[in-house]
Chains A and B, each alone.
Chain A
Amino acid sequence: MRILIVEDDPRIAADISAALKAASFVTDIAADGEDAWFRGDTEPYDLIVLDLGLPKIDGLTVLKKWRAAGRHLPVLVLTARGLWAERVEGIDAGADDYLVKPFQMEELVARVRALIRRSVGIGSAVIETGLIRVDTRQMHVSTNGVHVPLTPLEYRLVSFLVHNKGRVVPASELLEHLYGDEDAREANALEAAIMRVRKKLGTETIETRRGYGYFVADSAP
């Protein structure tokens, strides 16, 4: 899962990024409104954390531009004022949730997880397919009730596919969502990770649709 953090204060941006990375998300940082607007419009993020007080273009305007351009990804708004009138304005502009500064990082991570689940229509923090069970809060993956330890990349892979269960995900999309801007995107490494996951969870958990991509079934066959 790839998240764009839009925050002009580098220390706060770094803290948020660290907290989200610890929760197995891939993050990019934009420090001003113009950069944020460009990245949000061109890159396939799964969620954007957007501070409202930004240089160049303010956060609310950026949000409205995304929505006007048909970008419907979830946006969590950060605001320092915390006035209810401002929250209303944010929600009206298309925000999905808000968080008032100063906030605890645990709260931010919980809200991000909830928003991502909601955006793919999953109500619970625990996502189950027929074969595996993913607890997004604890970042645990289990099969037949047994906890299976995974590396961060492996967890991100499973989590993304499970969030998109019942849909064929092309390899290029997987690459875009599992790696940040700075990471080297290697198709071979992805292939190797999929092999390792199949070995740990069972070969039938991730199906390959030749020429299309990868598929996790919604329920047991």
Chain B
Amino acid sequence: MKTNSLRNRLLLAAAGVIAIALAIAAFGLSTLFERHVKTWIDGELDAHMTQLIAGLDRAPSGDLAVITAPSDPRFDTPMSGLYWQITLDGKNRDLRSRSLWDFVIAMPADPALDEQSHHHSVAGPDDQRLYLMQRHLELPPRLDRQRAKFAVAIDEAQINSAVWRFAGALAPLLGVLGALLIAAAWVQVSVGLKPLSSISSRIAGIRTGSERRLGDDFPDEVQPLAREIDTLLDARDQQIARARTSAADLAHGLKTPLQVVLGGITHLKAKGETAIAGDLESAALMMQRHVERQLARARMQSISFASSADAAAVARQVISVLQRTPNGARLAWSIDIAPATFVRIHADDLAEALGGLLENAARHAKSSVVVNASRDGNRMKLSIADDGPGIPADKIAEAVRRGGRIDTSGPGTGLGLAIVSEIVEAWGGDLAFSHGNGGFAVTLTLDTVAPR
């Protein structure tokens, strides 16, 4: 059993307390029962004692004898467990029940002549331990005022066995009670811990993007925890939003001067300074690459896990933009993605990835670009196929490599595929390239998210 489980610890504690409580109950009930049995036996012994005292009289021989013995038949059965004995003071003679046979009880010395019953535990016949009731009294004048000790005794084993029988009957009842209490404790612990497991499943939902916040439907004791976690998530989202905004400001701050530099280069070319212009142009291009790369990296560092994007909607939006461009306007676009196909990625990042891939496709396609989605377990495969010339297999790795470019004729820094593949990897997805539809096909695989 795992001891660092809260449930196990609570159940262990409950079981311990229940066991102790049941042990105390068993001991208490047995003690009460024993006391009750002794009270009852005392009554019995007292009755026998009264009969015994009344039965002592002078025999025709003149000696003292028990004329009418107590009526219980056990007094006549040897070693039956029920005995009486009368010891006359100063005389070396005892009167005993037949059940004692040849055993003589060693009568305890009761100094007082108080006619009260005293209880003792003494050795009896047949290794028995006897519960003995004794009275020390003076006989009436008719019997010469002799002093005598009267004793009636019962085998303690008989009392004990009654107590044991009681305890034996009690045990199953206590067992059932214990089982019920432990079941109740288990239910209590389960109900009590349920909000914790629901918090953990909600947090898992937030991580995978199917939930945004924990919300308010928790018990009072757990609500502060949920609220704190939600506050933390809010703070994180704000941080991410700030990071994205500052990346945007950085983009503006860096790219605007670059535009000015490009303008200057054009002026230089116009003046015939082609060598300087060429050097500056390659430096500007390198700067542009670095800027693009750092901006992409800044975006990657601000990934919020509570993200999901509707692939169909984003693809449609990106295509609506591309249809405005000269390359995109001439193509037939077809999208086959079920509505509300949610994938685990920030919508902006999905737009960035699909934008890069679809722009590539638009640049190379002859007449059409096909976008479709297929579900593979909890992964979604988005594939983009064009009917262009395709890329030779040995050039594909080159295309994905940072800054690698296959087609150097058009504008661009060559970061497109490398950035797309970084974005997709940052979200735990992957990119695969193949030849399909006669042209180039890219398959983008991402985790699916249950719609909110």
Point out residues on A near B: beta carbons under 8 Å. Answer: 9, 11-12, 14-15, 19, 53, 80-85, 87-88, 90-92, 95-98, 101-105, 107, 110-111, 114, 118
Contact = CB atoms under 8 A, between A and B. Distances in A.
A169 B83 CA distance: 144
A84 B350 CA distance: 9
B354 interface: yes
Given A91-B324, A114-B326, A104 B411 contact: yes
Contacts of A14: 263
Nearest to B325: A97
Interface in B310-364: 317-318, 320-321, 324-326, 329, 347-348, 351-352, 354-355
Contacts of B263: 11-12, 14-15, 105
B411 to A, nearest CB: 6
Nearest to B358: A84
B258 interface: yes
14 contacts: A9-B260, A11-B260, A53-B256, A81-B252, A82-B251, A82-B255, A83-B348, A83-B351, A84-B318, A84-B352, A84-B355, A85-B352, A102-B262, A104-B262
B354 A84 contact: yes
B321 A91 contact: yes
Contacts of A90: 321
Report the contact-size class of chain B (Cβ under 8 Å from the partner). 20 to 34
B284 to A, nearest CB: 8
Interface of A is mostly: helix
B359 to A, nearest CB: 9
Interface of B: 248, 251-252, 255-256, 258-263, 266, 284, 288, 317-318, 320-321, 324-326, 329, 347-348, 351-352, 354-355, 411
Contacts of A88: 317-318, 320-321, 351
B326 A102 contact: no
Nearest to B413: A102
A9 B348 contact: no
A103 B259 CA distance: 7
Contacts of A98: 321, 324
Question: By CB atoms of chain B within 10 A, which of A9, A88, A92, A118 has the most?
Answer: A88
A84 B321 contact: yes
Nearest to A113: B326
